[in-house]
Amino acid sequence: MGVGILVEGLNAWYGSTHTLQDINLPIPANHATALIGPSGCGKSTFVRCLNRMHETNPIARATGVVKMGDIDIYKDASPVEIRRRVGMVFQRPNPFPTMSIYDNVISGLKLNGFRNRRILDETVERSLKQAALWEEVKDDLKKKSGASLSGGQQQRMCIARALAVDPEVLLMDEPASALDPVSTSKIEDLIFQLKSQYTIVIVTHNMQQAARVAENTGFFLNGKMVEFDSTHKIFTNPKDKRTEDYITGRFG
């Protein structure tokens, strides 16, 4: 089951660029939350702050409070511990090229030292089924490299890989931006099914996508969060003029 996230006063920098300015946002558990905004508005940086991936870049820095359940991820835990509880799917599929499909899916477990074969086998099947990939690959799990799949299949495998560690939160950074329309709709279906079990945060530049999958939507602009509300309200009756301009296509 997922866990809610409470963000208070989050600031982030890249070198001297202030990329996130004082973000406050409650993300409800077991729902999908979409983040929209023009490119460079800080939405990707924001999700990377939620699992402390932001700080893997030596020039990057973040301050503020991010509460996941009852722990403050910047105070009460190490980055490694947080990332084990939070799955992440990146913009482009990034399978491990030297590993088979099987090893790719359970890499988060194996690389962290998990050895129980029976559970590993079960996990591969469970997460590939959750990612709607099981039927397509079940016959060559150990024969084929993860990199030999098509782009859409790779991305679903990456989702399975993120689900295999049994996370509480699933972060998706424009997961369909590098995919064709058919693969995109498959990924959207997936998110729709997964959101009852996980807290999902999805970054997208595609407003229709946000409207289709998410209950709540936040609009980012120039490093600030302009508006956060239920998706329906954001798209039909936004409070802020800038949100309205963006969703009606007047800029960006």
Partner 1 sequence: MQNSPIREFLSKRGSGSLADNSFAAVMLLCALSIFAIVFFILTILILRSHQSLVQFGWKFFTRQAWDPVSGDFGALPFIYGTLATSLLALLMAVPLALGVAVFLTELCPRPLRAPISFLTELLAAIPSVVYGLWAVFVLVPLMRDHLGPFLVKTLGWTGFFEGANFGVGLLTASIILAIMILPIISSLTRDIMNAVPNSQREAVLALGATRWEMIRIGVLRNSRIGIVGAVMLGLGRALGETMAVTMVIGNHPDISKSLFAPGYTLASVIANEFSEATGDLYLSALIEIGLALFLVTIVVNTIARLMVWAVTRNAPARVH
Partner 2 sequence: MSTQPISNQRPPLDLQTRSMRLNTARRNATNYFISALSVLATVLVILPLIAILFYLIYKGASSLNFAFFTHIPAPVGESGGGMANSIVGSGIILLVASLMGIPIGIAAGVYLAEFGRGKPLATAVRFTADVLNGVPSIVMGISIYSLIVLQQKHFSALAGGVALAIMMVPTITRTTEEMLGTVPHAIREAALGLGVPKWRTAISVSLRTASPGIITGCMLAFARVAGETAPLLFTAFGNQFWSFKLNEPIAALPLQIYVYAISPYDEWHRLAWAGSLVLIVLIMVSVTLVRIFANRGVLKGGS
**Contact residues for partner 2 (CB under 8 A)?**
51, 53, 56, 58, 80-85, 87-88, 90, 92, 94-100, 107-108, 111-112, 144-145, 147-148, 158, 161-162, 165
Closest contact distance (angstroms) between CB of 86 and partner 2 is 8
Closest contact distance (angstroms) between CB of 147 and partner 2 is 5
Binding-site partner at residue 53 among partner 2, partner 1, none, CB < 5 to 8 Å by type: partner 2
Binding-site partner at residue 119 among partner 2, partner 1, none, CB < 5 to 8 Å by type: partner 1
- What's the rounded Cα separation, in Å, for the pair 93 and 25? 28
Binding-site partner at residue 1 among partner 2, partner 1, none, CB < 5 to 8 Å by type: partner 1
Q: What is the DSSP string of the chain?
A: ----EEEEEEEEEETTEEEEEEEEEEE-TTSEEEEE-STTSSHHHHHHHHTT-GGGSTTEEEEEEEEETTEETTTSS-HHHHHHHEEEE-SS----TTSBHHHHHTHHHHTTT---HHHHHHHHHHHHHHTT-HHHHGGGTTTSBGGGS-HHHHHHHHHHHHHHT--SEEEEESTTTTS-HHHHHHHHHHHHHHTTTSEEEEE-S-HHHHHHH-SEEEEEETTEEEEEEEHHHHHHS-SSHHHHHHHTTS--
Closest contact distance (angstroms) between CB of 170 and partner 1 is 14
Nearer to partner 1, 114 or 240 (CB): 114
Nearer to partner 1, 116 or 230 (CB): 116
Nearer to partner 1, 119 or 230 (CB): 119
Binding-site partner at residue 24 among partner 2, partner 1, none, CB < 5 to 8 Å by type: none
Which residues are at the interface with partner 1 (CB under 8 A)? 1, 77-78, 80-81, 84-85, 109, 112-114, 116, 119, 123, 164-166, 197
Binding-site partner at residue 68 among partner 2, partner 1, none, CB < 5 to 8 Å by type: none
Nearer to partner 2, 203 or 211 (CB): 203
Is residue 88 within 8 A of residue 171, CB to CB? The reply is: yes
